[in-house]
Amino acid sequence: MEDFVYWRHPTLPCIKVEEITEGDDYKGPAWMDMARQIYGENGKDNYREIRHFDNGAPYVAGSTARISLTHCSGLLAIATLPDTPEVTLAEYSDRAALGIDAERNDRAQVLKVRERFLSPDELQEIPADSVLDNILAWTVKEAAYKAALTAGVDLRDNIAILKMPVLGPATPVYDKAEFPDFDENCYGRVQVTDTAGNEREFIIYSYRSEDFIISLAYSPRSARFNKTAR
């Protein structure tokens, strides 16, 4: 039986990410049920139960920490900010703005739907034949959509990529020779405009984890862990 792999790690923006992969003997809903079970069993203090608010935003029962989750074939990833008891997690707050999205780095189908999520300007800037660049743009927009926590936002018309991110390392413990020039200037930026015309800007941190591209979106005001926290 193929075992699941659970990896809990900090990221350079000081946001915790937990990734669950493998488990090839399970398929479809059974795989997801097992992955969520593994996440629940790896809480520091007790079992973690994921629930959802009426607007679809996920949360952990009894916790005041913002989480965001994503899944695609063979991966469940959950991002977490520090506790923010001062905000209401069911509503948007700059202090607890967070979104995560992931996709397999070889999912070529993205090239067939790029007109649905990229603006005319973005279609010109992002190469039409680059699977990696289009997957990266897709995860950036999906992560920003989740961070905005606002209904009615359209990926193409309401989320503008101001700066594409450069893929960074999955964890702060990395070979700097592999990323010699990587710093915060390599992070991306997006602007989300809701149906009322309100604008919110998010920072994007993207990285490759095995066969997946993962993007995090967060507000400059979002709570984040200390750099020494693990």
Beta-bridge mates of residue 101: 215
Contact (CB, 8 A) for 202 and 142? no
Coil, strand or helix at 104: strand
Given pLDDT bands bounded at 50, 70 and 90, which one contains residue 154? very high
Greatest Cα-to-Cα distance within the chain, rounded to the nearest angstrom? 52
Contact (CB, 8 A) for 191 and 218? no
How far is Cα 127 from Cα 190, in angstroms, rounded to an integer? Answer: 19
Question: What was the pLDDT predicted at 207?
Answer: 98
- The whole-model pTM stands at 0.95
The percentage of the chain sitting over the pLDDT mark of 90, rounded to a whole number, equals 90
What digits encode the pLDDT tens for the residues 28-39? 999 999 999 999
Question: What was the pLDDT predicted at 172?
Answer: 87
What digits encode the pLDDT tens for the residues 39-74? 999 998 899 999 999 999 999 999 999 999 999 999
The percentage of the chain sitting over the pLDDT mark of 70, rounded to a whole number, equals 97
Question: What was the pLDDT predicted at 145?
Answer: 97
Say whether pLDDT at 230 is over 50: no
What digits encode the pLDDT tens for the residues 161-171? 999 999 999 99
Say whether pLDDT at 82 is over 90: yes
Neighbours of 229 (CB within 10 A): 10
Question: What was the pLDDT predicted at 140?
Answer: 98
Beta-bridge mates of residue 104: 212
Select the CATH number that applies to the domain covering 4-218 from these four: 3.90.1200.10, 2.60.40.10, 3.30.450.40, 3.90.470.20: 3.90.470.20
Question: What was the pLDDT predicted at 173?
Answer: 87
How far is Cα 214 from Cα 202, in angstroms, rounded to an integer? Answer: 16
Provide the mean pLDDT of the chain. 95
Question: What was the pLDDT predicted at 196?
Answer: 86
Question: What integer is the mean pLDDT of 117-127?
Answer: 97
Given pLDDT bands bounded at 50, 70 and 90, which one contains residue 131? very high
Question: What integer is the mean pLDDT of 123-132?
Answer: 97
Q: Which of 40-49, 74-83, 155-164 has the lowest mean pLDDT?
A: 40-49
Question: What integer is the mean pLDDT of 171-198?
Answer: 93
